[in-house]
Structure 1
Amino acid sequence: MSFDLAALRATVAARGRVARVAVAAAQGSAPREPGAAMLVWDGGQSGTIGGGALEYDAARLARESLAQGGRDSLRRCPLGPSLGQCCGGAVSLVTEIFDAERLQTIDPSAPYLRRFAGPDAPPLALRRALRRARGEGLAPAPLLSQGWFLEPLLAPTRTVWIWGAGHVGRALVGVLSPLPDLALTWVDTALDRFPADVPSGVTVLSAPAPATLMPRAPRDADHLILTYSHALDLELCHAALCHGFAGAGLIGSATKWARFRTRLAALGHTPDRIGRITCPIGDPSLGKHPQAIALGVGAALLARAARAQQPEEREA
């Protein structure tokens, strides 16, 4: 998990002073991992540190801090009978109060380091993590040491382009937009095809001929093609194959895909290249409801990302 500076800025702009509560450390059985965070303001909150009594109590204390002028804090919370929980572990929570002025002090190009207690200088482990981040570009894991807390700033590592703002496109954006490592771009033929409440952080693009926007996509992007028109879908598949991609998926039936394979071959694409496009998208066993399709697509994206990380973890 990472410090989502963009989401915090947007929430402060909309709500004023905001408390951010983050899991700084976890021991034993705990509902969330270090770096998990929620934003709390008078009358609402977003995100989660695991729900239940822990989250309820943390949100209550955060609102009290906001009402009393705001003080940052670090506290250890045993997850036992005092909270009505039986996890058996413990978490350390940091609560920080942010406004527009304080946001200006955060360097968006470096991990976020701050002191709650302990020595005047950062401990050696944190200094080493900062050196690796600055010298080698290695993002540190969230780390609490001797009252100092270090978090990497969120930088989405995967780009997903969603082509089509119909029911399935809207369901996909709803499912995928909360995932912190995805940068979503949403494309359709006109702005009035998008809902009024597009989630923050989603880039919306429109063009009468959407395929003309394909060159703007990174070559390592994932593409999900699900427009209202089979002709548009075919143009986008052709454009994606010409441009290059990490992954591509097309909504449709086996019959539609058989026709598309024939037409794409006639456009000069080889069978192995055409075979890189997945059709249908999602998990057919879940059904054809837009949210069911979105859940299947989201699970497939997460599974592929997990497989890609396994070699790195073994080397580490």
Structure 2
Amino acid sequence: MKVWALIARALEAHGTCAMVSVVKAEGSVPREEGARMVVTPQGFHGTIGGGTLEWKALAEAQALLGKPRAVRTVRQSLGPDLGQCCGGRVTLAVESFDASSLPEAQALAAREEQGPFTLTGRLPGAGIAERFGEVRRAVLLFGAGHVGRALVLALAPLPFDVTWSDPRPEAFPAAVPGNVTLIAGDPLGVVAAAPRGSLAFVMSHSHALDLAIVDAALRNPAIAEVGVIGSATKRARFEKRLREAGVDEARVTGLICPIGAGGIRSKHPAAIAVSAAAQLILLDEALSARASQGMLPARNAG
């Protein structure tokens, strides 16, 4: 979530807003350090974990709306203080912003657009490094059929930038989520232009087209993982043809088919999409963990 852009817009519209940040998390807690919630006179964006903790934090933030710039520190033990079973402890910073904060918010929003950044010492007395901005994984989705449409909706609130490709422009819906870019043309061009660390999931209207896209995707080292919708029989046929075409054995073996996190038997498009979305989250987390250890390039920042 790009919090400074939200704050800047709220100040432009209302002249006031507030932000709740998790600055310290100990033990079993709902959200990690750095989780944030922006509160405006019209509602709130983001979450620090829900439940009683968030309800009380929201009330603290709402009480600061319309007040001068200020920062409050709130410490909560989830068990003794709130009756929550998590048992951990959190320290929250609850900040109010007024019209005088707008230039700073606009400047920080501009920095967010350039990618993640860190601020140290922004919160009085906290002495912590705060990380802002988003790190988002590129997902290449091929096919605008029933599952493709459902998967795009499932990915809408997640930290993915989706390039949705189908050679049939009429197959796309009239409106798509804000994190989706439509490409109605040659899908192999989308494969060739894949950002580093991309995930590619293939579910076109044609098995022949699926095979062509998978072949090209497996040959592109910028694409970290390739999945294709289908059955065990389809996988066996694809593996045979990919090996005959000279695709690297490790890449063929690593092909994901069938797609999905497993355990869901339903063949309803929305159910398949949920399973595929869960698998994309798992792949993203695994790749990010390996990147943090210097084993892989990181995903896109933006």
After superposition, the C-alpha distances for 1:185-235 in whole angstroms (9 at most, x for unaligned) are 33333386146240x4x2413132222221211243221112233233122
Could you tell me which of 107, 111, 120 is aligned with 2:118? 111
Q: 1:47 to 1:188 in 2, by over 3 A?
A: farther
| Contact map agreement 2:144 2:171 (CA 8 A) in 1 | no
Kindly tell me the number of residue pairs found equivalent between the two proteins.
277
Which stretches in structure 1 are left out of the alignment for 5+ residues? 118-145
Q: 1:174 to 1:84 in 2, by over 3 A?
A: same
Q: 1:86 to 1:103 in 2, by over 3 A?
A: same
| Contact map agreement 2:71 2:96 (CA 8 A) in 1 | no
| Contact map agreement 1:286 1:292 (CA 8 A) in 2 | no
The answer for the alignment partner of 2:228 in structure 1 is: 250
Could you tell me which of 276, 280, 294 is aligned with 1:298? 280
The answer for the alignment partner of 1:239 in structure 2 is: 216
Task: Give yes or no for the alignment of 1:159 onto 2:141.
Answer: no
| Contact map agreement 2:202 2:210 (CA 8 A) in 1 | yes
Give 1:87 deviation, angstroms: 4.4
SS in 2 for 1:57: helix
| Contact map agreement 1:36 1:49 (CA 8 A) in 2 | yes
CA distance in 1, matches of 2:85, 2:252: 52
CA distance in 1, matches of 2:283, 2:84: 33
Whose relative contact order is higher, 1 or 2, with alpha carbons under 8 Å and at least 6 apart? 2
Could you tell me which of 163, 166, 173 is aligned with 1:185? 163
CA distance in 1, matches of 2:216, 2:6: 34
TM-score between the two structures when normalised by the length of structure 1? 0.72
| Contact map agreement 1:156 1:183 (CA 8 A) in 2 | no
The answer for the alignment partner of 1:132 in structure 2 is: none
TM-score between the two structures when normalised by the length of structure 2? 0.75
CA distance in 2, matches of 1:26, 1:210: 44
CA distance in 1, matches of 2:289, 2:142: 25
Task: Give yes or no for the alignment of 1:214 onto 2:179.
Answer: no
CA distance in 2, matches of 1:88, 1:268: 55
After superposition, the C-alpha distances for 1:147-199 in whole angstroms (9 at most, x for unaligned) are 3442123342643322233333344344445444x44433333386146240x
Aligned alpha-carbon RMSD (Å): 3.4
Q: 1:270 to 1:45 in 2, by over 3 A?
A: same
- How many percent identity over aligned positions? 36
Give 1:250 deviation, angstroms: 0.6
CA distance in 2, matches of 1:149, 1:171: 41
| Contact map agreement 2:74 2:94 (CA 8 A) in 1 | no
CA distance in 1, matches of 2:240, 2:85: 59
